[in-house]
């Protein structure tokens, strides 16, 4: 109940008030999570990125807020690019936690039955709330440990599978991204490609208050996919908008 009330409040908050709220609560947040801030600062310096931890937190907050509004069917400025190039299903869409990433699966759900791979939260009430928020008629929530069973259904029934590659708990392969060893969950899309699914790399980012969701690369079925090449593509995305890449800064 508390998450629903909070979501309603945040989902109806004007942009100017959201920015004021962030400036108000950021110093208070750091009183409790100073170690986390120092960790992020260390990672940013190691990656030679000239941005401050505050920029990461602010973008995480603002992108998360816009994602929440989008999932609640509120008006959010979003532009789709290259979506006319999407191949016939089955398709595996692969992205990373960049920008307002919660928008990605909702856009896919409008195109057919989509299986969204997610990780469980320790807070069971939060986990249930997010499942209800993310799930609509065409979107099925799949836990990351269930992917092998779901893949068969995706191939057989010509469905969509959506995966965040920088969300790796099971069978991730490590790649160097921005001078850091980052696990990427690429075995699933590569396996799906061998079984006859196309693989699509896509991302979202916020610029001048508007969100862009862009198809960046398409691998036809049974392509020889180079996972190291995909890691380099992800790295190029992060270098373009480093302050909007959330996952690896907080997964420690």
- How does 219-228 read in b/e, with b if 16+ C-beta sit within 10 Å? bebeeeeeee
Q: What is the pLDDT of residues 197-209, one digit of tens each?
A: 999 999 999 999 8
Exposure of 99 in the CB half-sphere (CA atoms within 13 A):
24
Tokens of 79: 């532009």
- Whether 168 shows a pLDDT value over 70: the answer reads no
- Give residue-wise pLDDT tens across range 9-62: 888 888 899 999 999 999 999 998 888 888 888 888 888 888 999 999 999 999
* Distance of alpha carbon 120 from alpha carbon 123, whole angstroms: 8
Alpha helices (H) in the chain, listed in sequence order: 2-11, 15-32, 34-46, 53-71, 102-109, 124-134, 147-157, 187-194, 227-240, 247-250
What is the arithmetic mean of pLDDT over 180-197?
A: 91
Rounded average pLDDT over 61-71: 93
CA distance from start to end of the chain: 29
High-pLDDT (> 90) share of the chain, % = 56
- Reported as a single tens digit per residue, the pLDDT across 140-154 is 888 777 777 889 889
Domain boundaries, the chain: 2-71, 78-241
pLDDT at residue 252, as a whole number: 45
């Amino acid at each position: 109940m508390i998450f629903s009330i909070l979501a309603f409040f945040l989902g109806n908050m004007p942009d100017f008030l959201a920015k004021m709220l962030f400036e108000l609560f950021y110093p208070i947040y750091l009183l409790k999570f100073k170690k986390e801030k120092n960790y992020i600062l260390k990672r940013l310096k190691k990656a030679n990125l000239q941005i401050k931890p505050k920029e990461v937190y602010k973008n995480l907050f603002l992108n998360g807020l816009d994602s929440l509004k989008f999932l609640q069917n509120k008006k959010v400025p979003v532009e789709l690019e290259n979506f006319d190039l999407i191949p016939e299903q089955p398709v595996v869409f692969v992205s990373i936690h960049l920008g307002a990433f919660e928008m990605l699966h909702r856009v896919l759900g409008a195109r057919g039955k989509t299986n969204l791979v997610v990780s469980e939260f320790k807070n069971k009430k939060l986990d249930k709330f997010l499942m209800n928020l993310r799930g609509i008629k065409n979107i099925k929530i799949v836990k990351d440990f269930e992917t092998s069973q779901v893949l068969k259904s995706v191939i057989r029934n010509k469905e969509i599978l959506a995966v965040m590659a920088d969300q790796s708990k099971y069978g991730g392969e490590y790649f160097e991204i921005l001078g850091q060893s980052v696990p990427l969950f690429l075995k699933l899309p590569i396996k799906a490609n061998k079984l006859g699914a196309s693989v699509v790399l896509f991302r979202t980012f916020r610029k001048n208050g508007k969100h862009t969701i862009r198809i960046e690369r398409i691998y036809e079925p049974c392509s020889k996919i180079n996972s190291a090449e995909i890691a380099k593509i992800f790295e190029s995305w992060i270098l373009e908008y480093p302050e909007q890449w959330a996952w690896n800064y907080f997964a420690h």
